[in-house]
Amino acid sequence: PAERIKQGFQRFKQETYNQKPELFSQLATGQHPKFMVIACSDSRVCPTTILRFQPGEAFVVRNIANMVPPPEQAGYPGTSAALEYAVTALKVENILVIGHSRCGGIKALMTQKENTNKWSSFIEDWVEIGRPARAVTLAAAAQQQVEHQCTKCEKASDKNFVQTFKLKQVWSLQESVNVSLANLLAFPFIKEAVSSGTLALHGGYYNFVEGSFEYWWYGIDGKSQVSKF
């Protein structure tokens, strides 16, 4: 492990740090990222690798299943503290929540059994944040296999949910990424920034199996347009 860490840093220093002295000199005086990114801890979906963010461009939080708890769940202050710092101190202009294919956290959410002993000390309580996404997924795909349900729950841009439930607020009640986006708007300082036009919320879904990325904008009214590339 020590040798891997050494080689990794030496390569970074040679290929990046030493090649951009002006950038790192500027970063030494402070950070002014335009983006905050909330992504999964999954080792296959590093947001700085996928979206090629450079040092100083993105303030990043990673957790199980890229979830944002609502503000009233004070038992999860880590993500909430990062949000407050990013919006009120760093004045980021964009928050991007990225979901991904074959997410273990979503599988844990979708396979939870009611009224049984817990099998984990922390995971089950954490993924409960996504319970609204689970409910909508099961209502729409109750007869499907678990793998299909997980994909539905992960993939926040699935238009079949819209057609099934004919929701006016298209994305506000469904799937894991959109639950997190809706929870973001429950923070007063985020809702105020979005309403004033100084902050924009974005959703993303990275499918590393097929090598695609879906993107959508998320506003106060929940409306969204999806682009896939």
Per the annotation, binding residues are 40, 42, 100, 103
Q: Which stretches of the chain are assigned E, i.e. beta strand? A: 35-40, 58-63, 94-100, 200-207, 212-218, 226-228
Letter string b/e over residues 114-149, b meaning 16 or more CB atoms within 10 A of that residue's CB: eeeeeeeeebeebbebbebbbebbeebbeeeeeeeb
Q: Extract the tokens encoding 114.
A: 């009611």
Q: Give 226: exposed, middle or buried? Use CB within 10 Å, 0-12, 13-18, 19+.
A: middle
Token couple for 130: 């996504």
Biggest CA pair distance of the chain: 58
Residues tagged in the binding site annotation for Zn(2+): 40, 42, 100, 103
